Amino acid sequence: MSELCRITDRETLERQVRRIVADTPVVDLHTHLYDAGFGDLMLWGPDEMLTYHYLISELLRAERGRTSPAQFYAMSRREQADLIWQRLFLDASPISEACRGPLTVFHALGLDVSNRSLDELRGYFADRDPEEYTDHVLQTAGVTDVVMTNDPLDPHEVQMWEDGVVHDIRFHAGLRLDAIICQWAQSQPKLAAQGYDVTPDFSGRSAEEVMRFLRYWREKMDPLYMAVSLPDDFRYPADSLQTRIVEQAILPLADQDELPLALMIGVIRAVNPPLLLAGDGMGISDVRSVERMCEAWPSVRFLVTMLAQENQHGLCVAARKFPNLMPFGCWWFVNNPSLIERITRMRTEMLGLGFIPQHSDARILDQLIYKWSHFREILAEVLVDKYADLMRTGWQITAEEIQRDVSGLCSGNFWQFVS
Ligand code: FIX
Ligand code: ZN
């Protein structure tokens, strides 16, 4: 190693790590975004950002009954955004992570938030071309590729795929399985109506027919993986309908067709039903079930994220035992700076560089800017400390090695795992 490349002091280390982490392109492996080719499914702009479901639950909490969920949802998008701006940004300082997000976006776009005028901010977005704006956002966020969430039983989306939607190649499909695995009672008649021989109790030819259905959609969407959000009480093995569907159709398909499976575990849907999307909660899940699946299906690749802080350590331990298990992201209720830092530190300590530290879960295009810039700050802090620890042992590090490591975390680990 040449003398010149070596980093020998903390100041240079900090500068180099911050620069590299800020500049390294990322692949966002789980979002709910759609590109402009999907028309009205693509969400962007200030009113969408301000009515993100994370902010809706904060608003309804701040309202304390002044506005009911039903009244809120009956308002126009613009009225909802106005109310959220008033209550969460003007009536109190917007220090929550969900409030900070849009402000980071406005600032990064060069807008002045100091006079607190939402209408002025709206002016910047009026008449923008969605495709040109997509380029701008991806470039500002340093994101090269995103993975969408594509539900083969959503009629609106299905129609677009069937019509041969022409879409942005930077947006990859993720074949979503929640309707099949978690809402079989509603999905079974839909599949039967499409000519698939499936039964309410998942008997007979149901498993092979579900595989046939998913293969059809794999062909159409060319997804990078299949994905499902599972509840906290998901168990494997188990005699539940949910587990039977996973065991008899999903895992064999993942195995035979070499399609990775992303498991997002720990959501309890509709804890407070009138809040709709903002009403989901979480519970502590069972890491042993993940381990048993990894053991029973060694050639299936599992991308796994868990919602409870309490499950993060167990998931790291499981990943140490099973190379076919890739922990990813700080999901939803753990996507907050204090928890991201703790989780990322722990993952580096237990897994070195062998994990995927973050995904955005963005639903609105502009969110890519804040979700990634907030994360990059934390990743840089953690890595500076870890490289500084190495330097204290006499190990010498170079900028090229830091770049190699950060590229792995930001994109390489994902591409390697799914390809
Ligand atoms: O299941 C999921 O993919 C979750 O991420 C969503 O359901 C959730 O609403 C969300 O947006 C979390 O960030
Ligand atoms: Zn999601």
User: Per-residue pLDDT tens for 140-152?
Assistant: 999 999 999 999 9
What is the overall mean pLDDT for the chain?
Answer: 97
User: Which residue CA neighbors atom 9 of ligand 1 most closely?
Assistant: 277
> What does the DSSP 8-state code read for residue 70?
H
Q: Which ligand 1 atom sits nearest the alpha carbon of residue 331? A: 13
Q: What pLDDT is recorded for position 88?
A: 98
Confidence of residue 380 (pLDDT cuts 50, 70, 90): very high
Beta strands in 218-340 (DSSP E): 226-230, 261-265, 267-268, 281-282, 302-306, 325-327
CA of 232 to the centre of ligand 2 (A): 15
Token representation of residue 28: 């966002």
pLDDT at 78 over 70: yes
Is a pLDDT exceeding 90 seen at residue 415?
yes
The phi and psi torsions of 230 (rounded to 5 degrees) equal -110, 150
| pLDDT for 2 beyond 80 | no
Tokens of 195: 């000519």
Are the CB atoms for 354 and 384 separated by under 8 Å? no
Going by alpha carbons, the residue nearest to atom 2 of ligand 1 is 229
Percent of the chain with pLDDT over 70: 99
Domain architecture of the chain: domains with CATH: 3-418 (3.20.20.140)
Nearest CA to ligand 1 atom 11: 361
333 lines ligand 1 (CB under 6 A): no
Tell me the average pLDDT across 262-290.
Answer: 98
What is the structure's pLDDT at 348? 98
Of all ligands present, the nearest one to the C-alpha of 227 is: 1
Give the C-alpha separation, 359 to 348, whole Å. Answer: 16
**Per-residue burial over 255-271, b = 16 or more CB atoms within 10 Å of its CB, e = otherwise:** eeeebbbbbbbbbeeee
Closest approach atom of ligand 1 to CA 332: 13
Q: Give residue 387's pLDDT.
A: 98
Cβ of 57 less than 6 Å from ligand 1: no
Which pairs count as long-range contacts for 112-116, CB under 8 Å and 24+ apart, including other chains?
A: 116/89, 116/90
Buried b vs exposed e over 130-149: b needs ≥16 C-beta within 10 Å? eeebbebbbebbbbebbbbb
pLDDT at 5 (0 to 100): 83
Written as one letter, the residue type at 206 is S
Residue 343 is encoded by which pair of tokens?
């989780």
pLDDT attached to residue 1: 53
Assess whether the C-beta atom of 413 lies below 6 angstroms from ligand 1.
Answer: no
The phi and psi torsions of 173 (rounded to 5 degrees) equal -85, 150
Contact call for residues 364 and 43 (beta carbons, < 8 A):
yes
Is pLDDT of 262 > 70?
A: yes
Which pLDDT belongs to residue 306?
Answer: 99
Average pLDDT value for residue range 2-24: 91
* 89-108 per-position pLDDT tens digit: 999 999 999 999 999 999 99
Nearest residue by C-alpha to atom 3 in ligand 1: 229
Question: For a pLDDT cut of 90, what percent of the chain falls above it?
Answer: 99
Cα–Cα distance for residue pair 129/137, rounded to 1 Å: 12
Task: Give me the mean pLDDT over the 215-228 stretch.
Answer: 98
Query: What is the residue whose two structure tokens read 């240079």?
Result: 12
For the segment 38-49, the average pLDDT, to the nearest whole number, is 98
Longest dimension (CA), the chain: 69
Q: What is the mean pLDDT of residues 178-200?
A: 98
Spacing, Cα 32 to ligand 2 middle (Å): 6
Residue 4 has pLDDT above 70, yes or no: no
CB distance 332 to ligand 1 below 6 Å:
yes
Q: Which of 333, 361, 370 to mutate to test the pocket of ligand 1 (most atoms within 8 A of CB)?
A: 361
Q: Is the CB of 277 under 6 A from ligand 1?
A: yes
CB atoms within 10 A of CB 348: 21
Per-residue pLDDT for 286 more than 60? yes
Residue nearest to atom 13 of ligand 1 (CA): 332
Q: Is residue 218 pLDDT above 60, yes or no? A: yes
